[in-house]
Structure formats: structure tokens, C-alpha cells
Amino acid sequence: SAVISQKPSRDICQRGTSLTIQCQVDSQVTMMFWYRQQPGQSLTLIATANQGSEATYESGFVIDKFPISRPNLTFSTLTVSNMSPEDSSIYLCSVGEDRGVTDTQYFGPGTRLTVL
Amino acid sequence: QKEVEQNSGPLSVPEGAIASLNCTYSDRVSQSFFWYRQYSGKSPELIMSIYSNGDKEDGRFTAQLNKASQYVSLLIRDSQPSDSATYLCAVNEDSSYKLIFGSGTRLLVRP
């Protein structure tokens, strides 16, 4: 499977600021996704990062709060804007790989964000 | 609201036993099913995928799918303390690439 890296691995931020998280893949992939995992919770899909067009956001997530870029098939960024303590979570990118039947998703190592 | 349900646990089993993890889903048209393992502080790691009714075996892991009853399970044979983790069930939404995750079952294997 593709090797996925994320930067930063963790950060502590002040409320009202913004943080941009980078996701880099070692091969070209069609599908990239951003998830959030709040403390003690499961994964929630934020958006699908589309190459060359605007991301597709899930219900409850908006572009102004979570702008996403996908300039090419190996890289994407997620920005968490105007942060509040409620944004403290692990943010994960994943990539979809075609396994013949369906895309199988593999996750990056995650970014642990704490907002004070 | 499409849902994936799992017992949160913890499921505690002795070393060497079979651990049985269960998952039910609400969307009848779901086609693909995945089990991820997540160690504390780490990201989810794919361990099994299954698409057809029946059993699929991979080493000590067996995934079982019953679409008529809308459940998927994961059996771990000869459980080891290193298997202690949270196991997440995930289901493809319709024919899209989106995954809906269950809340996870925490497994504890006692030495």
C-alpha cells in the first residue's frame, strides 16, 4: 500500500488561530480523504479532497472552517481555522487504493491537535 | 441515518482464546466491509476486508459476513496480548468510496 506521511504529527495551538496539516503520499492516488477523531470517539469523515476542484464536505463541516487543497495526486492540506478547544482532535488523512472490487482506504499517522 | 454499531467493550479474553468481535450495519445496499485495528495513540490499520457472504481467513484472523442479517464479525484465533487494541468496523456507503465507521470495540487480551 501507499506510504502516507502527515505534518505536523502534533501541535498545541491557541484559540482563534489556524493550523494547516499536510498529507503527502509516495505514489499518485485518486481518492484522498480527511477524517477527524475526537477523544475517545470513532472516525468522522470531514471531506473528500478532489484534485483540481473544490473538496466535497460532509454534513456538519464547512469550507470556511476546514479549507482543503489538493494541488496534485500526491498531496493535500487541511486547515483548521479560527480554532476553539472543541477542535482538539486527531486529524487523519487517508487514501483510497483500487483493489479491484472497491477502493480500500489506508490511513496516515495522524496529527494530534490540542487547542488551548 | 446510516449506522454501524459495535459493542464498545472492553472485551476481555485470556491469551490463546478466540476473540469474537461483532458489527451490525443499517444500510442494506452496503457492499464492502472492513476491519481496522487501532492501537492507543496510533492511526487505524487495515487488517481485513470482505465483500461476499461467508468467511474470509487471513492468518489468525477470520472475517464473516452475512448480508441477509446485516452483520459482519471478526474472529481472532490464538489471541495474543499484542492484539489488545480497539477494532473498528467500517462499511462502504452505497457504491461510493465513503466509509462509515462504528464506534469500535476495545479488546483486552490477558496474559
Is the per-residue pLDDT at B93 higher than 90?
A: no
Which residue out of B37, B98, B103, B106 would a mutagenesis test of the A interface target, given it has the greatest number of A Cβ atoms within 10 Å? B98
**C-beta of residue A15 within 8 angstroms of C-beta of residue A73:** no
- Nearest Cβ partner for B101 among A43, A101, A110: A43
Question: What does the pLDDT read at residue B65?
Answer: 95
Report the residue from A102, A104, A110 with minimal CB separation from B43.
A110
Distance, CA of B54 to CA of B93 (rounded, Å): 20
- Is B101 a residue whose pLDDT tops 80? yes
Banded pLDDT at B29 (limits 50, 70, 90): confident
Interface test with A, best of B40, B86, B99 (most A CBs within 10 A): B99
- The average confidence (pLDDT) of chain A is 93
Task: Give the pLDDT band (50/70/90) at residue A107.
Answer: very high
Q: Does A59 touch chain B (CB under 8 A)?
A: no
Q: Rounded CA gap, B70 and B48, in Å?
A: 17
- Looking at the predicted structure, is the pLDDT value of residue B63 above 80? yes
Percent of chain B with pLDDT over 70: 96
Q: Locate the chain A residue with the closest alpha carbon to B47.
A: A106
Per-residue pLDDT for B27 more than 60?
yes
- B50 pairs with which residues across the strands? B33
DSSP B46-76: EEEEE-SSEEEEETTEEEEEETTTTEEEEEE
Residue B98's pLDDT is what?
82
pLDDT digits (tens, 9 = 90+) for A12-39: 999 999 999 999 999 998 889 999 999 8
Query: Where in A8-88 does DSSP place strands (E)?
Result: 10-13, 19-25, 31-37, 43-49, 56-57, 68-72, 75-80
- State residue B95's pLDDT score: 62
Q: Which of residues 11-30 of B touch A (CB under 8 A)?
A: none
Closest-CA residue of B relative to A95 is B97
Q: Is the pLDDT of residue B107 over 80?
A: yes
